[in-house]
Amino acid sequence: MKKLFFTISTLVFLISCNNIHQSKQKNKNVTKSNDSSNVISDRQLQSQKNETYNFNTEEQWDSLNKRVDKKVIHRKGKVHPNTKTFGWHIYSNGSSYKNYNFSMLWGLSYFSYALEPKTGSYKSIHQWKTTSLIDSAKAKDCKVFLSVSNFGRENNSIFLENRKAQKTLIDSISNLLAFRSANGINIDFEGVLKEDKEYLTKFIIEISKSLKQDNPNYMISLCLYAIDWNDVFDIQAIDPYIDFYTLMGYDYYGSFSKTTGPVTPFKTSQLFRNGLEKSVDYYNDKGVDLSKLIIGLPYYGAEWYTNKPEIGALVSRFKSHPRYYTIKDIYIDSLKIPVQFDKKSASSYLIIKDSNKKYRQLFFEDTTSLSIKYDWVKSNKIGGIGIWALGYDDGYTELWDLLNEKFSEQ
């Protein structure tokens, strides 16, 4: 890396940034009634929960998750060269990667480099330096990326307005990618304010240029929100510096919702006003080439308490984001709750009757709903699909089999 020399103009810029930051801090809490800060993603919820554990090994996470090694048999096949099948491996999923079908993955991203916004260094990189996940992936020609995550409007403002912290991050990322001979990064900054749009744009351009100067083969990817409430992505400016985008095509409904609904509605309707098609059209209109877009889909559900069984009912209380294997093991296989399907949103759901005439509603993706969305991705020549998160189906093979059916070259 080249050494950074601070000119007088740079110092003026930094002083100006500090003044702007102080001014913005006075007004943020009263001017942001329209932003998406109340939308807390499964990613952020997972990160907040996981930070409460002081674990240093995959074995500790396996113990917490009560993970038992059981060998699964995958269908033979290899992902088609024209399709990007992509997944995120969360460090807290421990050694669940032992059951990944790497042959059906074009790439995966290790989640994550948890950013310390004031300095640019990391709070943790978890097992990035030691995990066998990376070796297993590369042995099957699956590309490996490192996620860089930062959550919350204040954390993003602090970092994006600090050039020194950005330089530290870039240097650190460069070293970590080289250490594991990785292929690039996946940027996941959630809760960015509209006022920080220009800062975000400059940062994306800078980190892309710097890393590609280190290694021209590095790929830079960016997570896009399902709904960009604050219009923070300047696609026209950043597109030349982005190799592919990963749309977080989930959390349309979640812990923040007042009514029940699909985690990933497909089409918009009177009942569900936003959906996957609408999100893709939005970014396409902004200038995202569909061939550069990976559609991330959830391997988890959303469950609420309600007073009525009809979908779209008012929420009494949010319960949880159960993973696919929990939904299968407990609700479907053990409790024998019948799976229902909403055609308009192309989403599966369960209605669970509790005592005292109360209900729980649980929306999730399965082979039926994902099959429809995968076919749509293929018919529209979209770049590929993503999985949040790998290992959420640990012990079950049907979602891997569906990937094979839809995206194998054979």
Residue 10 lies in a domain: no
Structural domain including 177 reads: 41-298+366-407
d(CA 148, CA 114): 6
Task: Calculate ∠ Cα 144-185-16, nearest 5°.
Answer: 170
Residue 72 lies in a domain: yes
Per-residue pLDDT of the chain (410 residues; tens, 9 = 90+): 434 443 434 433 344 444 444 444 434 433 332 344 467 888 888 888 898 998 999 999 999 999 988 889 999 999 999 999 999 999 999 999 999 999 999 999 999 999 999 999 999 999 999 999 999 999 999 999 999 999 999 999 999 999 999 999 999 999 999 999 999 999 999 999 999 999 999 999 999 999 999 999 999 999 999 999 999 999 999 999 999 999 999 999 999 999 999 999 999 888 998 999 999 999 999 999 999 999 999 999 999 999 999 999 999 999 999 999 999 999 999 999 999 999 999 999 999 998 788 999 999 999 999 999 999 999 999 999 999 999 999 999 999 999 999 999 97
Other CB atoms within a 10 A radius of the CB of residue 388 amount to: 26
Across 166-323, where does the E strand assignment appear?
184-190, 219-224, 244-248, 293-298, 302-306, 315-320
Take residue 219 and report the two structure tokens written for it.
Answer: 């790929």
Q: Residue 274 has what pLDDT?
A: 92
Q: Residue 379 has what pLDDT?
A: 98
Residue 346 lies in a domain: no
Task: State the CATH number of the domain containing residue 63.
Answer: 3.20.20.80
Residue 272 lies in a domain: yes
Q: Residue 39 has what pLDDT?
A: 76
d(CA 331, CA 334): 6
159, 119 contact by CB (below 8 A): no
Residue 101 lies in a domain: yes
120, 165 contact by CB (below 8 A): yes
What's the number of domains the chain is made of? 1
Residue 25 lies in a domain: no
Q: How far is CA 315 from the centre of its chain?
A: 25
Residue 144 lies in a domain: yes
Residue 220 lies in a domain: yes
d(CA 180, CA 236): 32
The one-letter amino acid at 329: D
Q: Is 83 helix (H, G, I), strand (E, B) or coil?
A: coil
Q: How far is CA 105 from the centre of its chain?
A: 16
Task: Calculate ∠ Cα 387-132-98, nearest 5°.
Answer: 55
Q: Residue 390 has what pLDDT?
A: 98
Q: Residue 40 has what pLDDT?
A: 82
Q: Residue 38 has what pLDDT?
A: 62
Q: Residue 25 has what pLDDT?
A: 44
Across 213-263, where does the E strand assignment appear?
219-224, 244-248
